[in-house]
Amino acid sequence: MQPIVNANGAAIPALGFGTFRMPGPDVLRIVPEALKIGFRHVDTAQIYGNEAEVGTAIQQSGVPRADIFLTTKVWVDNYRQGAFSASVDESLQKLKTDYVDLLLLHWPGSPVPLAEQIERLNAVQQTGKVRHIGVSNFNTRQMDEAARLSAAPLVTNQVEYHPYLDQLKVLEDADRLGMSITAYYAMADGRVPRDPVLNDIGSHHGKTAAQVVLRWLIQQHGVVALTKTATQSRLAENFGIFDFVLSTDEMKAIHLLAKPDGRIVNPQGLAPVWDEAA
């Protein structure tokens, strides 16, 4: 059994299957296989353009909807009044379900005031269409403000997190707020598999560098990791991280790989002013 991250009332499977930049046909082919292997957490977003295929894949997987933790995200263009709720209804229709387990604000970059965004997020949660709510790509100031404004507790901040990016400040803030961090871009755009330190650690456990990083993420308190692959043979590798433990020294060695310029995802107009590394 994979570990569960408990955050403000949400029980989130520690390893999620992400579908960013995954075309529909790949989703239809690989998501049912991921669920067959044991994944129980699937992550998508309105802007990914694949919610309909994710919904179909879940339906065709044979795994009951109730057993799957399903996340989607509202795109910034839909934050405005009148669009928010309608966009969630459209997402549910595409996902072929009457609720999602987690709904996130995708990026902070929007002219719509945060108070209004949070108000609309709470309103859809109160309808029962959304079990839990959270944010994505928020800095600590925005996390604090969002948590203060929200009537319902926020359960996660989904952010870029891998060995080359120090996210200690965000982790500490999330912990203080009772939130989890959901890590995306764990493979750092292909850098992880080539890293000598990570490969060396992996060799001691009979694991790959990719498995080492996923393990490093979920071994941290309150961290959920997203993994993604369109290759069926990789699914078992990505899921095979629950049968070994990294030592304190190994965890530390991986944290030491962080660089001041480690951030990869930083879209202008969407991204906030990020926290400086601790």
Write the pLDDT tens digit of every residue in 203-229. 999 999 999 999 999 999 999 999 999
Tell me the per-residue pLDDT of 157-208, one tens digit each, with 9 for 90 and over. Answer: 999 999 999 999 999 999 999 999 999 999 999 999 999 999 999 999 999 9
106 in a known ligand binding site: yes
Q: Is residue 277 part of a domain?
A: no
Position 74 in a domain:
yes
Q: Is the pLDDT of residue 278 over 70?
A: no
pLDDT at position 277 is 74
**What's the domain range around 124?**
4-255
In a domain, 195, yes or no: yes
Least Cα distance to 212 among 231, 233, 197, 232 occurs for: 197
Helix (H) or strand (E) holding 72: strand 69-74
Judge whether 278 lies within some domain: no
CATH number at residue 88: 3.20.20.100
In this structure, is residue 223 part of a structural domain? yes
| CB neighbour list of residue 171: distance below 8 Å, 6 or more residues apart | 181, 220, 221, 222, 223
Residue 266 maps to a domain: no
pTM value > 0.85: yes
Q: Determine the 3-state secondary structure of 270 from DSSP.
A: coil
Q: Report pLDDT for 1.
A: 72
Domains of the chain: total? 1
By annotation, the residues acting in catalysis are 48
3-class DSSP state of 70: strand
> Does 273 map to a domain?
no
Please report whether residue 30 resides in a domain: yes
Summarize pLDDT for 33-82 with one digit per residue, the tens.
999 999 999 999 999 999 999 999 999 999 999 999 999 999 999 999 99
